[in-house]
Structure formats: C-alpha cells, structure tokens
Amino acid sequence: MSFTPILVSSALEGRLRARAAAAGVSVETYLERIAREDQEAEEELESLALEGLHSGDPIDVGSGYWEGLPSRGLPSQWFNFTLMRNHPDRC
C-alpha cells in the first residue's frame, strides 16, 4: 500500500486526532471511515433521487403548490425557508 501525505492545518489535525482517539482508531482508519461513509451517503442520495424521479407522473408545480405546502403537513420552518429563498419579495 502506498501513502500520500496531505497538508492540513494544525487545528484540523488536532480535531482529526481527537475524533480518531474517541473512536478508538488511528487517524488513517478514521479518514478511511469518513471517506467510505461519504461515498455511501453519495450513493444513497443518488438512489433516492432516482427513486423520486421514477416514483410517478410529474406534477405541475406553480405558486399554488408552494403556498399549499403547510396544509399538506410539511413543517412551517421548511416552508418559510423555501418561500424566503425563492420569493424574498413576499416575506
């Protein structure tokens, strides 16, 4: 196995060492775990996106759709964030 050195700030190095120690593994093993979990999360996200894409017929999403979200049980915080992001003139 070959190794490639990477440069990180001393603050980041300290956090990596502390988290690796808390997990009871070496920094190398900890970084491998992070990389593997990141890859798995990316694959899961892609799978969920494809599942959503193929989940049924498309719907028409106009302003009435977005304004009706709270009545369909979505959290108001999500609705308010989406409204502020997409329609700041309405807030």
pLDDT digits (tens, 9 = 90+) for 6-65: 999 999 999 999 999 999 999 999 999 999 999 999 999 999 999 988 888 887 777 777
Residue 16 and residue 8 in contact, taking contact as beta carbons nearer than 8 Å: yes
Domain boundaries, position 33: 8-56
Compute the distance between CA of residue 23 and CA of residue 16 in angstroms, rounded to an integer.
11
| pLDDT at position 70 | 64
Compute the distance between CA of residue 68 and CA of residue 79 in angstroms, rounded to an integer.
9
Q: Quote the number of domains for the chain.
A: 2
User: Is 89 part of a structural domain of the chain?
Assistant: yes
User: Is 2 part of a structural domain of the chain?
Assistant: no
List CB contacts of 82: < 8 A, sequence separation 6 or more: 66, 69
**Do residues 70 and 49 share a domain?**
no
Residue of higher predicted confidence among 72 and 53: 53
Q: pTM here?
A: 0.58
User: Is 3 part of a structural domain of the chain?
Assistant: no
